[in-house]
Amino acid sequence: MRRPLRSSIHELMRRICHLRDDVSCVHADWDYAVLLDEALRKNRQWYGLVREIAQTARPCERVTDTRDAAQSLLGDLERVLRPRAVSL
């Protein structure tokens, strides 16, 4: 059974924040994690931030799981947001 979307986002952030010590690999991802956290706190649109994480996560071993999680989450977001866009 899939976790709720917000829970998935927090899991993604947890993974990114856990990797922050390897600055050479995750500097950009850490910046995005901070922005994502801010967006969640302000209840703003975070689709673009997750998309950036999925596209820019560096392909080093320590980031592979984070990138995969971001890409999976991006698919979830697209499925959730697509019906809303059609109904507008």
Question: pLDDT at residue 12 above 50?
Answer: yes
Instruction: Kindly report the pTM of this predicted structure.
Output: 0.32
Q: Is the dihedral of CA 27, 28, 30, 31 positive or negative?
A: positive
Cβ-contact 3, 11 below 8 angstroms: yes
Mean pLDDT of 44-58: 57
Residue the block writes with tokens 């703003």: 44
Share above pLDDT 70 across residues of the chain, in percent, rounded to a whole number: 0
Dist CA 72 CA 88 (whole Å):
25
Give the pLDDT mean for 76-88. Answer: 56
| Residue ranges of domains in the chain | 5-87
